[in-house]
Amino acid sequence: MFNIILFNPEIPPNTGNILRLAANTNSTLHLIKPLGFDMNNNSLKRAGMDYKKDADFFIHDDLDSCLDIIKINEIYALTKFANKSYSNTKFKKNDCFLFGSETSGLPDFVLKKIKKENKLRIPMVKGSRSLNLSNSVAIVIYEALRQNSFQDLL
């Protein structure tokens, strides 16, 4: 129903948790190289449990090749530098959510590809550096699912 793109993820358990989330929400996960780990990493496997076989996920050499092959309605970039909250956006089937790496977020050259109104943030207290990547993905995906009446989920 939704696409999740992780741009250069670095921490295996985060990606494992997001893989598990994707499997349980009928979302598709796209990983953009370089990855900061091997897909056979034990902590990735532990976090993802046995959901790897049930998840739709793909590994792409770069963001452009990813965007060329997936059917998307809108692409949203999640960044703490955005002015608009994710909760002030109406999400539709086939929307895509782009998240940056755990240590550096989305680089400027990626953010420049996204329309200003599609750059979203998750509200945090002033002075906070960031939320955990897998928590951030879960927050946004479940809001998108809620807005779409949890279509295709029990």
Query: Residue 73: which pLDDT band, with cuts at 50, 70 and 90?
Result: very high
Give me the half-sphere count of Cα atoms (radius 13 Å) on the Cβ side of residue 68: 6
pLDDT > 80? residue 104: yes
| Average model confidence (pLDDT) across the chain | 94
Of the candidates 86, 85, 96, which has an alpha carbon nearest to the alpha carbon of residue 63? 96
Using CA atoms, how far residue 22 sits from 90, 117, 127, 128, in Å, is: 20, 25, 30, 27
DSSP annotation of 116 reads G
Mean of the pLDDT values across residues 129-148?
97
pLDDT tens figures, 118-131: 999 999 999 998 99
Strand partners, 4: 29, 97
pLDDT-above-70 percentage for the chain: 100
- Non-local (6+) Cβ contacts of 89 within 8 A are 76, 120
Architecture of domain 3-147: 3-Layer(aba) Sandwich (3.40)
| Alpha carbon distance 22, 34 (integer Å) | 20
Query: What are the sequence ranges of the domains in the chain?
Result: 3-147
Query: Residue 50: which pLDDT band, with cuts at 50, 70 and 90?
Result: confident
pTM of the predicted structure, to 2 decimals: 0.94
